[in-house]
Structure 1
Amino acid sequence: MTRAPLALALLLGLLAGCSAPAAQDSPPTQPAATSAPTSTVAPSPTAAPTPTPTPTPTKKAPARKVNPISMQALIQKRYDGRDLERGRLLRDQGSYKRYAVTFRGDDELISGIMNVPDGKGPFPVVVLNHGYIDPDTYWSGQGMPREQDVLARRGYVVLHVDYRNHAGSSDDEDGVDGTDYALRLPYVVDTINAVKAVKASGYDFLDTDHVGWFGRSMGGGVTLRALAAQPGLVDAAAVWASVSSLEADNWERWYADNGERQDTNKKIEKTYGLPDDDPAFWRAASARPFFDRITEPVLVQHGGSDRTCPVRWARSTVDALEDADVDVTSNVYPGADHTFEGATFSRAMDRTVDFFDDHLR
């Protein structure tokens, strides 16, 4: 035998001796589910998932309490003027008819008069805010009779608001003294609700898309506050012989030395202080600091010799309106007193009607 075959035979015998047969009672090994090789490194223990922290509820800061005797209270208030009702015919004036009216708002029933021009309409509407008249002697529609007449003859429906505690209006729970204590802000609520009631009414003779305000004396102050409280509610406003747009001026003029208002003054001093005690309160209750909210054109007219409401008040109001970029037109009538008599009234009224013609028609 040659050496190569001999080596091959020896190698085959050696391999046969090293191969052991498989045990008969061992189950066959199952194939792996995947073809990926099995790692020989021991797996790391699975870490427990980090719990998502529950967010702590954010506490809302408590709403800042607004002083009810303030412009901010008027701004935030919800108005519900509604249920305008034209009542009985009071008088036929030839070119217009005069009616008793009522409307509701702020839990009050407010009375007034309405002049309606003859014809089909619809007619633009001017809501009138009268000056101070003692509520004990006031009758419905008493204020601004000349203005009511001219506007109706010129084709405007006129709604003259009596205010709460006046004529056929309901008495609010605090009465007249309460209204004085509230610096007559409730009258602003009444005129805003008057406009709301006009706009919500179903009378087809009312042009509810064209409504204006017209206030004189105390009613001028009511009008300025209403404009700042509810910008965009009306289309234009006229103010005649107005009180000051700063409430401290008005208090000093009519309250400070008035013995009949002594009880009201004591309550004012005790609860929120007189103007020298808390000037911030008095500014917050005034129209002037809020003039930048007014969006409507305003006509201001005043007598140069007004001994009731000094003409300097009108000039200061006009300056402040201009500083606030309000579209303001002003006229001062030299020598004219608070009531605009004779030729002064005619001229001022013509300018007022022209002003409303420009913005309400």
Structure 2
Amino acid sequence: AQPHAISHQAAASRAAVLPVSKPAREKPVRETVAPRQKSAEPARREAEAEGRGFTFQGRKVRVDVVKAELPGLGPDNRAPAVLILHGAHGLGDGSLYYPQASALAARGITAFVVHYFDGIPQARKAAPSLHDEREQVILEAVGYVARQSYVDPDRIGVFGLSLGGFHALSLGSRDSRIQAVVDQVGAMPAEVQRRGVTYMPPTLVLHGDKDRTVPVRRARELVSLMEQLGTEHEVKIYAGEGHTFRGAARTDSIARTVDFFSRHLAADRGLLKKDLDIDIALGPALPPTLPDRDYAPPRDTLADEKLLQRPDFRSAAE
């Protein structure tokens, strides 16, 4: 079929009967302000993080790497490393994590900000019932960090905030690869402590005495446990601070964290635990030579993690 053609004469006659439209009046352009996005990008760019990652059960887990600025601190120019574990709200705008990573890098420690929620397919990624699944992702992350050519695998630490602090303490109590732990507003899982903890690496505890999400008594219980174990530890309770540190307390917490890891991941601390035979009631510590998948954490180790599901926690900024 031929396309329907309109003659110039017909087109002209049509134009003659069509009303002439007046030019539309221009409406004043209103400047709109985009809503603020809860994105980690600004803080990540500030930290100059290098995006990397690994695959866990078919899912890509992102890891932002902020490399040490002072290379050559260890054998073969390898630096110590710290994994940074976020809280139950994820990374948020990144302001609680990437400045920390930059401060560590400035002191010669490579920081790895682990998006461990990437490895969890369920919607409620912070649910207590998913503790073991999250811990398996974090264990894979430790292995990933240890395999990097620029990392000294004998000098690895973990920093955890809130939910990340629960995981950092649980991991430090059973994984011999972890040489130091910093727990900020987290706690030792009650079930882990009930079954028995016989070892903790050097640990720094940071907490606010007005924390309504994870009460400060949990920090004091943790300190009491470490005193019983003879664990080398430090503690700072910030007066007037809640679940999120602000102002001077936040600045001080970063400085204390960096100083703690600098001292406990120094070159002469690397082999401290390598030859120790640690008998842990929850199961054997994972030797550095064993694959990560051989580690089997106990079920329901964060029964008390229900604290993190409270309304005041869900509405709090992490």
The two structures have a TM-score, normalised by structure 2, of: 0.61
Gaps of 5+ in 1: 1-89, 247-285
| Alignment partner, residue 105 of structure 2 | 152
| Alignment partner, residue 39 of structure 1 | none
Is 1:211 aligned to residue 156 of structure 2? yes
- In 1, Cα distance between equivalents of 2:126 and 2:243: 24
Is 1:301 aligned to residue 211 of structure 2? no
1:107 to partner: Cα distance: 5.4
Q: 2:54 aligns with which of 87, 98, 103?
A: 103
1:329 to partner: Cα distance: 1.9
- In 1, Cα distance between equivalents of 2:198 and 2:182: 17
| Alignment partner, residue 259 of structure 2 | 354
Summarize deviations over 1:208-229 as a string: whole Å, max 9, x none. 2211000011100011111223
| Alignment partner, residue 146 of structure 2 | 199
> 3-state DSSP class of the match of 2:138?
helix
The residue type equivalent to 2:89 in the other structure is I
Matches within 5 A, 1:1-361: 97-105=48-56, 108-121=59-72, 122-133=78-89, 144-163=97-116, 166=117, 169-172=118-121, 175-177=122-124, 180=127, 182-201=129-148, 203=149, 205-230=150-175, 232-243=176-187, 245-246=189-190, 286-290=191-195, 292-361=197-266
1:307 to partner: Cα distance: 2.4
State the structure with more CA Rg.
1
Closer, same or farther: CA 109–309 of 1 in aligned 2, 3 Å: same
1:180 to partner: Cα distance: 2.0
1:97 and 1:116 in contact (8 A); partners too: no
- In 1, Cα distance between equivalents of 2:171 and 2:58: 19
1:328 to partner: Cα distance: 2.4
1:234 to partner: Cα distance: 1.3
1:141 and 1:162 in contact (8 A); partners too: no
1:97 and 1:117 in contact (8 A); partners too: no
Task: Give the root-mean-square deviation of aligned CA atoms.
Answer: 2.7
1:245 and 1:313 in contact (8 A); partners too: no
Closer, same or farther: CA 240–142 of 1 in aligned 2, 3 Å: same
1:235 and 1:297 in contact (8 A); partners too: yes
Q: Percent identity at matched positions? A: 26
The residue type equivalent to 2:146 in the other structure is K
1:350 to partner: Cα distance: 1.8
The two structures have a TM-score, normalised by structure 1, of: 0.54
1:155 to partner: Cα distance: 2.0
1:245 to partner: Cα distance: 2.5
1:292 and 1:325 in contact (8 A); partners too: no
- In 1, Cα distance between equivalents of 2:143 and 2:210: 36
1:302 and 1:311 in contact (8 A); partners too: yes
Aligned length: 219
1:152 and 1:158 in contact (8 A); partners too: yes
Gaps of 5+ in 2: 1-42, 73-77, 267-318
